[in-house]
């Protein structure tokens, strides 16, 4: 099987991520109510202990400059990813589901490509959920009172390859004000003006690998936290997975 994102989706995804940044900034300033989402009346369908495939977390840490630019920092990202992976492992050991870590295909470029496409698709779907379920001005009339998002049947390959009923996807972004921006924020406060600092945002999805349906979704959106340190990263994962059904 060779999964290909549609040309339209490949073109729109970078723009959607930029739009997501703007929407999240508005949501932060408006103190939008957060909470997990799941299909109305939906139940998790599995026999015995559920097996959940933990997909590679999509993590990026950045510095927020004086001019408001968000500049990715490779060293911070590596540390943050390590802390997030450890926090997820610790968290899942306390759950009743059996968690298995994703193991990338070796020597099979086709399968590896297909898996990457699924992860990109999850990112696009997650962006759409946030824009159209959490941000009132963009709520779609057809989805106002329902939650019926999914990744499609292609995810069934993960069920077959890893013998799992579900997959957990995690997306996290964390930014920190540069020393210059901190100084500017203090100066602006003296004159009665507020200047936003860094923020921690992310979302997590539990996907049924039989149907492709997103059976649980949660948003993390706040101006506190630091994924560069183990304990704050653990707290962030606990917050992100609040209400996790397994």
Number of domains in the chain: 1
Name every residue whose Cβ is closer than 8 Å to that of residue 85 and which is 6 or more positions away in sequence: 57
- The Cα–Cα gap between 244 and 88 comes to 12
DSSP 175-232: EEE-HHHHHHHHHHHHTT-------EEEEEEEEETTT-BEEEEEEEEES---TTSHHH
SS in 3 state form for 162-191?
A: HCCCEEEEEEEEEEEECHHHHHHHHHHHHC
Q: What range defines the domain where residue 142 resides?
A: 7-38+49-240
Residue 213 corresponds to which tokens in the numbers above? 């349906």
Domain assignment present for residue 191? The answer is: yes
Domain assignment present for residue 246? The answer is: no
Q: Tokens 């539990």, residue? A: 206
Residues 8, 10, 14, 16: is their CA dihedral positive or negative?
A: positive
Predicted local distance difference test score (pLDDT) of residue 229: 96
Domain assignment present for residue 43? The answer is: no
Q: pLDDT digit string (tens) for 191-244?
A: 667 656 678 999 999 999 999 999 999 999 888 899 999 999 999 999 999 989
Domain assignment present for residue 22? The answer is: yes
Predicted local distance difference test score (pLDDT) of residue 188: 65
Position 8 confidence tier, pLDDT thresholds 50, 70, 90: very low
Predicted local distance difference test score (pLDDT) of residue 77: 97
**Burial per residue of 184-200, b for 16 or more beta-carbon CB atoms within 10 angstroms, e otherwise:** bbeeeeeeeeeeeebbb
Predicted local distance difference test score (pLDDT) of residue 189: 67
Q: pLDDT digit string (tens) for 63-121?
A: 887 777 889 999 999 999 999 999 999 988 887 778 899 998 888 889 999 999 999 99
Predicted local distance difference test score (pLDDT) of residue 131: 84
Domain assignment present for residue 124? The answer is: yes
Domain assignment present for residue 1? The answer is: no
Q: Is the pLDDT of residue 245 over 50?
A: yes
Number of residues that this document lists for the chain: 246
3-state secondary structure (DSSP) of residue 139: coil
Higher pLDDT, 33 or 62: 62
Domain assignment present for residue 13? The answer is: yes
Predicted local distance difference test score (pLDDT) of residue 148: 85
- The Cα–Cα gap between 181 and 66 comes to 4
Predicted local distance difference test score (pLDDT) of residue 240: 95
Domain assignment present for residue 2? The answer is: no
Q: Is the pLDDT of residue 6 over 50?
A: no
Predicted local distance difference test score (pLDDT) of residue 139: 72
Position 7 confidence tier, pLDDT thresholds 50, 70, 90: very low
Q: pLDDT digit string (tens) for 118-160?
A: 999 999 999 888 888 877 776 777 767 778 899 999 999 999 9
DSSP 95-109: SSSEEEE----SS-H
Higher pLDDT, 203 or 31: 203
């Amino acid at each position: 099987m060779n999964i290909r994102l549609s040309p339209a989706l490949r073109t729109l995804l970078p723009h959607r991520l930029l739009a997501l940044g703007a929407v999240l900034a508005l949501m932060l300033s408006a103190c939008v109510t957060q909470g997990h989402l799941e299909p109305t009346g939906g139940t998790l369908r599995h026999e015995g202990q559920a097996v959940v495939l933990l997909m590679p977390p999509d993590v990026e840490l950045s510095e927020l400059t004086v001019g408001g630019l968000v500049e990715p920092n490779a060293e911070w990202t590596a540390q943050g990813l390590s802390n997030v992976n450890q926090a997820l492992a610790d968290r899942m050991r306390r759950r009743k589901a059996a968690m298995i870590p994703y193991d990338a295909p070796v020597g099979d470029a086709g399968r590896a490509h297909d898996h990457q496409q699924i992860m990109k698709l999850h990112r696009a779907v997650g962006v759409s959920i946030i824009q159209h379920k959490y941000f009132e001005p963009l709520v779609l009339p057809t989805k106002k009172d329902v939650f019926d998002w999914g990744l499609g049947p292609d995810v069934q390959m993960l069920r077959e390859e890893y013998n799992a009923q579900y997959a957990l996807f995690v997306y996290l972004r964390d930014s920190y004000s540069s020393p210059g921006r901190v100084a500017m924020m203090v100066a602006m406060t003296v004159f009665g003006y507020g200047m936003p600092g860094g923020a921690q945002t992310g979302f997590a999805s539990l996907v049924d690998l039989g149907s492709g349906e997103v059976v649980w979704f949660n948003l993390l959106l706040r101006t506190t936290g630091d994924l560069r340190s183990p304990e704050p990263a653990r707290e962030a994962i606990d917050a992100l997975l609040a209400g996790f059904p397994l």
